[in-house]
Each structure stands twice: as C-alpha cells, then as structure tokens.
A and B are shown apart, each in its own frame.
Chain A
Amino acid sequence: MIKTDALIIGAGPTGLFTAHQLKLIGLDCEVVDNLDKIGGQCIELYPDKPIYDIPAVPECTGEELTNNLINQLKPFDIKFHLGERVDEVKKDNDNWIVKTNNGKSFSTPNVIIAGGVGSFEPRKFSPKECEKFENKSIFYSVQDKKVFEGKTVTIFGGGDSALDWAVELSKIAKVNLVHRRDEFRGAQATLNKVKELTSAGKINLLTKYQLVSVSGSSKIESIDIKSDDGETKNLKTDYVLGFFGLIMQLGPIANWGLNIDKKTIDVDTEKFETNQKGIYAVGDICKYPGKLKLILSGFHEGALAARACFKLARPNEKYRFEFTTSSKTIKDRLGIKSD
C-alpha cells in the first residue's frame, strides 16, 4: 500500500500542473494514468497541433506544452504510475483506498480526478459476440507475437499499427489484412511494403470490407466480412486483431458514487470538490456554472484543489499563502539557492 498526501488520476496538462501546485505547497503526490506515456490528450490526440491560448505562450504544440510541464516538475520527485487504470476508489475512515487494474493500491486523504474525458481504451469491434473471444482469439494489441506462429491471423485497420503488424506477422503467420476503404493512413514506406507482400502472396489484402460476425465455440473458427455493396465473405481464421485507434471512455469513474452528468463530474468552485469529501475533479472532466474546457481553466482548478488537499493532508497545520517570487520555503522546495 502506497501512502501519499494526494493521488492524481490523469497525467494530462491539468494533472501535471496540479502535481506542481501540490509539491509547491509541501504535499507529496503520485500520478496514475492509463496511457503508457505522460501528456494525456495533448500527446495522444494532438501532439503536433498548435495551441494558441496558453497564457504567455503565444503558440506551442501539445507535445511542447507537455514537455514544458514535465520540465516544470523537474525540481520535484513525483512518482508516475503509467499504463495503469484506477479501477476502484473506496472510503476507509479518513482515507480513500485506491486500487489499479495492475493490483497497485494507494491510501490517501485526497483523490484528484484530472481524467479529461476518461481513460483511453482501444476501440473494439462492434458485433456483440466479439466480447467473449476477447483476449482469447481477438486482440487489440500484441503482447507476444509467438502465439500467432503458423496460424491464420486477420488484421483489421488502416493505420500504422495495422500495417506494421501485417508486415511483421506475415513472416510467421498467414495474414489477412482487412480495411474499410482503399486508402490507408499509415506511413507510405510501410504501405509500399504491404503492397509488395500482397503481390508476393504473403498478405491477403481485402479492402472495402468490415467485420459483421464471428463464429466458433471457445475459439474463433471463422469470420464474416461484408463489403460496401453487400457482398459477404467467410474467412477461416485463428486470430483476429483490431487496430482502430483509441477512444476515451469514462470507465470505472462512473462507479465511485460521484454526481456525473454527460461524462462530467459536478464540483464546487472553491475546492473543486465533488459530492464526496476528499475527491476533487479538475480539467475537462469537471463541471460547474460557466465551466470552460480550456487548459488554462484546468490549471486554475488544480491550483485551488491542491490548497483544499492541504487541509485534509495536514489537519493540524494552517495553510499559508506564499508567492514563489518571495517565499524562501518555496524556493527551497524548488531547489533554488537564494542569495
């Protein structure tokens, strides 16, 4: 069990700046994110898109913003738990016990949800029966490619992941590559390779088809794919891989007893606290009258939530407001030598 003053869920810009604010006022914190990297939507959805409304930063990309926020955290020692999703939040006297899908658990008086629109999850196939084959015959990522050796693998998708795995697995397995249209959005070099392997008979390329159904008992035996003009094809296959990118899902947050409406959590505007004492929501996921889904609003919300955390983490101390320009204590925390 990891004990901490505050646990932040979400390592996007709001989560990162909230961590900064907590450390600045002398609290420790840990950060959990379902993605395997820091940055949230800024890194996952628009790393190269310029942002023009960060105060005092006329223009920066999602990636630059993330890197600057990480730099700002350099003076502090903050533990990030990446690739982990928070599944459970339960009350234990004055603390919250927080558990992740990887079995990590935290005990903390303060949980700050900075979860954007939820956690990023792979988009899955739509036919209902796909669910029961998940992680047996149907996968949305590849952990160990050896399982596909000598088998037939049908890959769906038109981006880099689909193309890369089609090329890679064609060396050890029989590969069908299925995509809903003729154009692919992956790198040209990989696409050329796929076309080469298709001409050489190493990849069976099927475009303008989508999955309509799968059949089999405990394992998949075959699948049906359907073209835009209604033609159905049956493919014998041992495994199915889907690479349709990531979508955001509110996920387990919905089960923590919070007031949630349209994927956002109601908070007050003093502490950004939810209806549960010691659970706060900041950034895109919170809602209050006048809420703007701007990164700068997330920064403000995080700063105030951090002050609220102080009260619960240090019940016997009084929080004192200080400026970074003048406070010796804060300069010490930042590791700045004052003259």
Chain B
Amino acid sequence: MPKITYITHDKQSHTVEVQNGLTVMEGAVQNDIPGIDADCGGGMACATCHVYVKEDWFNKLPKKEDGEEDMLDMAFEPKTNSRLSCQLTVSDELDGLIVDIPSKQT
C-alpha cells in the first residue's frame, strides 16, 4: 500500500499506509491525524482539508479542477503549493507523498 506522510504544524511527522482509491484527506481522517477537518466530507464544498504539497511532488500530482482553486481562495493562508487533500486520490504513483498540514483550517 502507498505510504503517505503528513507533517502537522508542530513538525510531527506521521507516515501511514493508505489504500489505493482513498483520498489523502480520508487517509488522514481514518488514521486520526490531527489538523484536517474535512467539514464537508470530501465534496469540495469547503476548504478545511487544505494541505501544502512539497514542490517536487506538487508537479507530479494531477492538475486541479476549476472548483478546487476557487475553494482554495477560502482556505486559511493558501500558498502556490496548496491543495485540497480530498481531491488527491491515492495510487501507487503517490507512494511517498509528503504533505504539510497548515496551523489551522478555519
């Protein structure tokens, strides 16, 4: 199973195995990794599963859909490497992905 690393704001690193087909958001929620709220449950209707993706990984990810960038306007401190983790579906290509969780979501 692909391994995904979540780095919380206090620099704690959590590496977990996430089944293919789940989203990076679901991987965090199911493994009780703090800092990802996912209020809307993955509907791309809020911006509370916001993560920063390390640059080398950012370009390898599937491109954002229009709605995602709009939602990121409403995220807490969005940056150029911001993504909504509910829009990142885990696959073998994402094995080793590292994401940073912002200090807060709201």
Contacts and interface: CB of A to CB of B under 8 A. Distances in A.
A and B: real partners? Answer: yes
Interface of A: 41, 45-46, 49, 117, 123, 126, 157-159, 179-181, 183, 185, 210, 228, 244-245, 247-249, 263, 293
A338 B79 CA distance: 64
Interface stretch (B38-46, B53-61, B89-97): B38-46
B73 A157 contact: yes
Q: Which secondary structure dominates chain A's binding surface?
A: loop
A215 to B, nearest CB: 20
B43 A123 contact: no
A181 B69 contact: yes
Nearest to A208: B80
B46 A248 contact: yes
Contacts of B74: 123, 244-245, 247
Given A45-B43, A45-B46, A185 B73 contact: yes
B39 A180 contact: no
A117 B69 contact: no
B2 interface: no
A195 B70 CA distance: 19
A263 B41 CA distance: 13
A6 B94 CA distance: 50
A46 B43 contact: yes
A46 B45 contact: yes
Given A46-B45, A248-B48, 9 more contacts: A41-B40, A123-B74, A123-B106, A126-B77, A181-B73, A185-B70, A185-B73, A247-B47, A263-B37
Nearest to A183: B69
Contacts, number: 53
Contact of A159 (B43, B48, B73, B78): B73
Contacts of B73: 157-159, 179-181, 185, 244-245
A49 B43 CA distance: 10
B70 A247 contact: no
Given A126-B76, A157-B73, A293 B46 contact: no
Contacts of A185: 69-70, 73
Interface string B22-44: 00000000000000010111010
Given A159-B73, A245-B73, A293 B43 contact: no
A57 B106 CA distance: 34
Listed residue (B37, B47, B73) with the most chain A CB atoms within 10 angstroms of its CB: B73
Interface string B62-106: 000000011001101111100000000000000000000000001
Contacts of A46: 43, 45
Contacts of B78: 180, 210
Contacts of A247: 39, 46-48, 74, 106
